């Protein structure tokens, strides 16, 4: 995996970390992307690069989105989306795909646009995405101008931070408390928030199961945007070890 700690420059970190608090899943869109919106998101999708993962922006029809059981929560009014793609030939590509996809969602939020992650509620046969050998679409991100009243950050349903942290988060350095709160706000499949966090010496640890690699990438993206002390992201050699951690003696 390319170094996550080098993915964002200082300006991008500042802008996207501000968007963390504003980003919510938007399922109702009032207008399509403007030409400037499209150009800006296309540039962002091309700029954020990690081995084995990429984003592909495409025009779509609203009928692509199926909604959940009994048609609740169906995406409406959306005519643009990003395919989140990972290669089976590259280690941890699903984690990288989660990082890149969430970076694009935060770019959209910083532009006043809405976005929504979807991993199952769309018609895969209706997609026309060019794929290389070993690649697969892991999910889609709906994009567009949100309908009035569809963006309400205060309505997020999230687990208390204490439930997500294995040690007393009140005793953590302020920088790591901010990073933990950013992870708390991250989206996840079915809003399960399948992470746990801990502080172990110089390690800020984020754990998730092997089945939640995409969600782990999303969480890591949020954490990275709030970490400013020099650090290096590392991974456990097996899924029985910590999934990912930011390692820095300065965080002791």
> Are residues 127 and 10 part of one domain?
yes
> Are residues 210 and 94 part of one domain?
no
How many domains is the chain partitioned into structurally?
A: 2
**Does the structure show a pLDDT above 50 at 95?**
yes
> Are residues 166 and 107 part of one domain?
no
> Are residues 203 and 112 part of one domain?
no
Spatial separation of the C-alpha atoms in residues 140 and 78, rounded to whole Å: 12
The values of phi and psi at residue 37, to 5°, are -55, -50
> Are residues 121 and 17 part of one domain?
yes
| Rounded mean pLDDT, 192-216 | 92
> Are residues 166 and 148 part of one domain?
no
Neighbours of 127 (CB within 10 A): 16
> Are residues 242 and 130 part of one domain?
no
> Are residues 116 and 32 part of one domain?
yes
Which of 153, 172, 188 terminates a domain? The answer is: 153
User: What are the tens digits of pLDDT across the range 43-77?
Assistant: 999 999 899 999 999 999 888 888 665 445 788 99
pTM as predicted: 0.92
For residue 31, give Cα distances in angstroms to 53, 78, 145, 241: 29, 8, 5, 46
> Are residues 170 and 70 part of one domain?
no
Structural domain for 187, as ranges:
157-251
Which of 137, 153, 169 terminates a domain? The answer is: 153
Spatial separation of the C-alpha atoms in residues 152 and 147, rounded to whole Å: 11
Longest dimension (CA), the chain: 51
Q: Are 153 and 123 in contact (CB under 8 A)?
A: no
Spatial separation of the C-alpha atoms in residues 252 and 248, rounded to whole Å: 7
> Are residues 145 and 161 part of one domain?
no
For residue 25, give Cα distances in angstroms to 53, 93, 144, 191: 22, 24, 12, 11
Please tell me the predicted confidence (pLDDT) of residue 113: 96
User: What are the tens digits of pLDDT across the range 159-202?
Assistant: 999 999 999 999 999 999 999 999 999 999 888 999 999 998 88
> Are residues 134 and 164 part of one domain?
no
> Are residues 47 and 100 part of one domain?
yes
Find the CATH number of the domain harbouring 228.
3.40.109.30
Please tell me the predicted confidence (pLDDT) of residue 210: 85
Which of 98, 129, 153 terminates a domain? The answer is: 153
Find the CATH number of the domain harbouring 20.
3.40.109.10
């Amino acid at each position: 995996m390319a170094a996550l700690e080098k993915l964002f420059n200082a300006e991008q970190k500042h802008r996207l970390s501000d968007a963390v608090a504003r980003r919510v899943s938007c399922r109702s869109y009032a207008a399509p992307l403007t030409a400037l919106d499209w150009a800006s998101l296309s540039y962002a999708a091309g700029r954020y690069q990690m081995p084995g993962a990429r984003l592909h922006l495409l025009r779509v029809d609203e009928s692509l989105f199926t909604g959940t059981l009994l048609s609740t929560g169906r995406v409406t009014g959306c005519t643009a989306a990003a395919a989140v793609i990972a290669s089976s030939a590259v280690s941890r590509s699903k984690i990288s795909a989660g990082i890149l996809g969430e970076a694009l969602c935060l770019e959209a939020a910083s532009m006043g646009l809405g976005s929504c992650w979807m991993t199952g509620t769309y018609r895969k046969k209706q997609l026309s995405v060019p794929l290389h050998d070993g690649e697969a679409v892991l999910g889609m991100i709906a994009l567009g101008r949100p309908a009035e009243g569809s963006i309400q950050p205060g309505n997020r349903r999230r687990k208390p931070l204490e439930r997500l942290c294995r040690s007393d988060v009140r005793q953590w350095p302020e920088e790591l408390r901010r990073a933990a709160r950013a992870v708390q706000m991250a989206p996840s499949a079915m809003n399960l928030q399948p992470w746990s966090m801990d502080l172990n010496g110089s390690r800020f640890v984020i754990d998730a199961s092997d089945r939640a690699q995409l969600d782990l990438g999303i969480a890591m993206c949020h954490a990275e945007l709030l970490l400013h002390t020099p650090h290096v992201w590392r991974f456990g050699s097996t899924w029985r070890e910590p999934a990912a951690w930011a390692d820095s003696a300065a965080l002791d």
